[in-house]
């Protein structure tokens, strides 16, 4: 039986451990003939000796597949690709995922990349694996890029494909116990994806590049079948939904919820991403069905408290709809995880741009204040706007002085993690260092500690009785400090935040 090796790079630097289901790798494996190919999936959290396992297994594999989003996954992916090539110089290395789909040509220029899959790889990857086995011309496979001597070649674009034609995700390819996480809505939470794409065109998003602005979702009946199977097979109590936009089709959502209720599938579900402008128009019976079926958390891109900013990014949403949505969620006992951004590229004039960014900042904090008055149990994340190539606002940001990498390796440090908020090097020159630090401080420290429902999740990560006691004390002190800071909107002299980031970064209490 021929072997295929797949690697899921760490999304974060190694002092920030991550675990979960490598959904992208399961997706490209599900159409592979399991009688013909043995698939080995590797990751930092799945393997005790990752480097040794990779070297041993790739010596006689048909290929090594690597998935990567922009950021640290590129660094980790290149690190492993280099090791694999050193052990087996003739090993074909295939890159896929968001970043290679956005910049396929630049990705292929790297010597540790032989093939690139653009967009959906569910069918393209199995076809390429078969092509490599049979030593056939890859030019016949739609949706890929490859090297032909010194020349970089691309095949015809692949059409957006209905995922209902695909088998279910092969969770059996990984040790599911190592992939389970604890969340606010479950002790044994399993990651899941039911759809691809998003039909909307936000100015900061590259969905239209990767998935051509299309959307395809599994039928409601199939989602219910799979959740019921996963609950029974792996004894999970919750599902984390990782769709780009889970709530596109309101009838599908209603049918999923009713199906779960009728079959008495006892699962909580959350993390489901949805647009406020759609959800506020859901009928009451859909909201009721969502609550009864176990919906506990919705993730939404609220983006800004400034209507002008929402219009600039083409969000097709009103600020007042965010408040209305929050009231709906409180009524139906659903927690909201809001995602906000700040620092849009407004104008070529720096002073005008700084003024507009400052206005964004103030209006967003004012909106969050109003939302907290509705429900203090919701959580907020705040990010600096950093555009991806292909996004509508990217060129405007470049004109304002945004410096972008010119090689695959350079993109590994393009995104700045919140933990580096005290010492970040700004790529967005129209944002002040003070604003950048405060955004990082708000997301990781202030909003994190102000969320009362997140304490049990954090405490569960603390090992040892002594550490748990110290954590409880530190947490109580931190709560007092962040509430004072939030009340007076004072985020200067961040000594407490500095201490918090040290603990976070070096893996102490949390």
Taken as a whole, the chain contains a residue count of 510
Q: Please give the biggest Cα pair distance in the chain.
A: 67
Contact 110, 75 (CB under 8 A): no
Q: Decide yes or no: CATH 3.30.565.10 for domain 2-154.
A: no
Helix (H/G/I), strand (E/B), else coil: 484 = helix
Quickly state the pLDDT bin for 418 (edges 50, 70, 90): very low
The ranges assigned to domains in the chain are: 2-154, 163-451
pLDDT tens readout for residues 347-400: 877 778 888 989 999 999 999 999 999 999 999 999 999 888 889 899 888 888
Phi-psi region of 135 (alpha: psi -120 to 50; beta: other; left: phi over 0): left
- Of 183-192, 417-426, 433-442, 465-474, least confident by mean pLDDT is 417-426
8-state DSSP, 295: B
Give the span between the Cα atoms of 9 and 411, in whole angstroms.
14
CA dist 67 to 100, 143, 271, 396, Å?
8, 16, 22, 29
- Of 108-112, 217-221, 377-381, 501-505, least confident by mean pLDDT is 501-505
Q: Annotate 167-206 with DSSP letters as a single string.
A: PPP-GGGS-HHHH-EEETTEEEEEEE--EEE-S---TT--
pLDDT tens readout for residues 250-270: 999 999 999 999 999 999 999
Contact 302, 277 (CB under 8 A): no
Contact 58, 64 (CB under 8 A): yes
CA dist 188 to 179, 269, 293, 499, Å?
9, 11, 17, 31
Angle at 24 between CA 20 and CA 28, to 5 degrees: 135
The two tokens of residue 133 are: 């086995």
In the chain, the percentage of residues whose pLDDT exceeds 70 is: 95
- Of 114-128, 185-199, 423-437, least confident by mean pLDDT is 423-437
Give the span between the Cα atoms of 253 and 206, in whole angstroms.
25
| pLDDT given at position 414 | 86
Helix (H/G/I), strand (E/B), else coil: 114 = coil
Quickly state the pLDDT bin for 431 (edges 50, 70, 90): confident
Those residues whose C-beta lies under 8 Å from the C-beta of residue 91, and which sit 6 or more positions away, are: 58, 61, 63, 64, 84, 85
Contact 69, 102 (CB under 8 A): no
| pLDDT given at position 505 | 61
pTM: 0.92
Give the span between the Cα atoms of 198 and 117, in whole angstroms.
20
- Of 213-222, 227-236, 388-397, 484-493, least confident by mean pLDDT is 388-397
**Which of 446, 320, 329, 319 minimizes the C-alpha distance to 380?**
446
421 has pLDDT over 50: no
| pLDDT given at position 354 | 82
- Of 26-35, 333-342, 445-454, least confident by mean pLDDT is 445-454
Quickly state the pLDDT bin for 508 (edges 50, 70, 90): very low
| pLDDT given at position 459 | 75
Quickly state the pLDDT bin for 416 (edges 50, 70, 90): low
Residue 135, number of CB atoms within 10 A of its CB: 6
Those residues whose C-beta lies under 8 Å from the C-beta of residue 104, and which sit 6 or more positions away, are: 116, 118, 145, 154
* Mean pLDDT of all residues in 316-335: 98
| pLDDT given at position 387 | 86
Give the span between the Cα atoms of 296 and 294, in whole angstroms.
6
CATH architecture of the domain with range 163-451: Alpha-Beta Horseshoe (3.80)
Quickly state the pLDDT bin for 402 (edges 50, 70, 90): confident
Quickly state the pLDDT bin for 506 (edges 50, 70, 90): low
Beta bridge partners of 152: 147
| pLDDT given at position 14 | 65
Helix (H/G/I), strand (E/B), else coil: 156 = coil
Beta bridge partners of 341: 383
66 has pLDDT over 90: yes
* Mean pLDDT of all residues in 483-494: 93
CA dist 461 to 196, 418, 456, 457, 498, Å?
32, 19, 9, 7, 21
Q: What are phi and psi of 348, to 5 degrees?
A: -75, -15
Average pLDDT of the chain to the nearest whole number: 91
pLDDT tens readout for residues 67-113: 999 999 999 999 999 999 999 999 999 999 999 999 999 999 999 99
**Which of 263, 382, 375 minimizes the C-alpha distance to 329?**
375
**For 125, how many CA atoms within 13 A lie in the half-sphere containing its CB?**
32
Looking at 339-464, list the stretches that DSSP marks H as alpha helix, in order from N- to C-terminal side.
350-374, 394-399, 433-441, 447-450, 455-460
212-234 in b/e burial notation, b at 16+ Cβ within 10 A? Answer: eebbbbbebebbbbbbbebbeee
């Amino acid at each position: 039986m021929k072997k295929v090796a797949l690697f899921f790079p760490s999304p974060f630097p190694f002092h920030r451990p991550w675990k979960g289901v490598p959904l992208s790798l399961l997706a490209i494996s599900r159409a592979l003939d399991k009688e013909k190919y043995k698939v080995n999936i590797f990751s930092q959290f799945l393997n005790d000796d990752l480097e040794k396992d990779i070297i041993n297994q790739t010596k006689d594999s048909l290929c090594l597949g690597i998935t990567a989003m922009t950021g640290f996954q590129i660094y980790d992916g290149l690190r492993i690709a280099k090791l694999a090539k050193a052990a087996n110089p003739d090993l074909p290395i295939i890159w896929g995922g968001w970043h290679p789909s956005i910049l396929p040509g630049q990705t292929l220029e790297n010597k540790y990349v032989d093939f690139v899959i653009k967009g959906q790889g569910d069918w393209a990857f199995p076809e390429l694996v078969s092509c490599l086995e049979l030593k056939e011309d890859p030019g016949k496979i739609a949706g890929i890029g490859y090297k032909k001597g010194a020349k970089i070649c691309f095949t015809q674009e692949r059409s957006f494909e209905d995922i209902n034609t695909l088998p279910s995700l092969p969770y059996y390819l990984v040790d599911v116990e190592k992939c389970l996480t604890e969340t606010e809505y479950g002790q044994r939470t399993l990651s899941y994806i039911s759809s691809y794409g998003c039909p909307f065109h936000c100015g900061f998003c590259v969905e239209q590049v990767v998935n051509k602005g299309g959307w395809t979702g599994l039928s409601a009946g199939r989602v219910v079948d799979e959740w019921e199977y996963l609950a029974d097979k792996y004894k999970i109590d919750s599902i984390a939904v990782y769709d780009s936009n889970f709530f596109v089709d309101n009838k599908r959502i209603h049918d999923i919820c009713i199906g779960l209720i009728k079959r008495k599938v006892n699962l909580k579900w959350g993390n489901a991403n949805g647009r406020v402008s759609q959800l506020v128009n859901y009928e009451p019976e859909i909201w009721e069905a969502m609550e009864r079926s176990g919906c506990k958390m919705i993730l939404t891109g609220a983006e800004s408290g400034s209507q002008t900013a929402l219009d600039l990014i083409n969000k097709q949403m009103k600020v007042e709809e965010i408040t209305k949505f929050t009231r709906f969620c409180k009524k139906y006992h659903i927690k909201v995880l809001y995602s906000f951004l700040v620092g849009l590229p407004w104008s070529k004039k720096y002073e005008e741009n700084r003024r507009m960014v400052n206005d964004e900042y103030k209006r967003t904090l004012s909106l969050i204040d109003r939302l907290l008055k509705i429900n203090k149990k919701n959580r907020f994340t705040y990010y600096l706007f950093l555009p991806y190539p292909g996004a509508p606002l990217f060129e405007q940001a470049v004109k304002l002085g945004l410096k972008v990498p010119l090689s695959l390796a350079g993109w590994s440090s393009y995104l700045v993690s919140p933990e580096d908020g005290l010492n970040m090097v700004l790529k967005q020159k129209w944002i002040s260092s003070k604003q950048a630090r405060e955004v990082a401080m708000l997301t990781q420290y202030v909003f994190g500690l102000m969320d009362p429902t997140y304490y049990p999740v954090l405490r569960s990560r603390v090992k040892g009785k002594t550490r748990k006691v110290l954590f409880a004390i530190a947490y109580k002190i931190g709560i007092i400090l962040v509430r004072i800071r939030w009340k007076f909107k004072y985020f200067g002299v961040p000594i407490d935040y500095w201490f918090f980031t040290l603990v976070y970064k070096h893996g102490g209490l949390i």
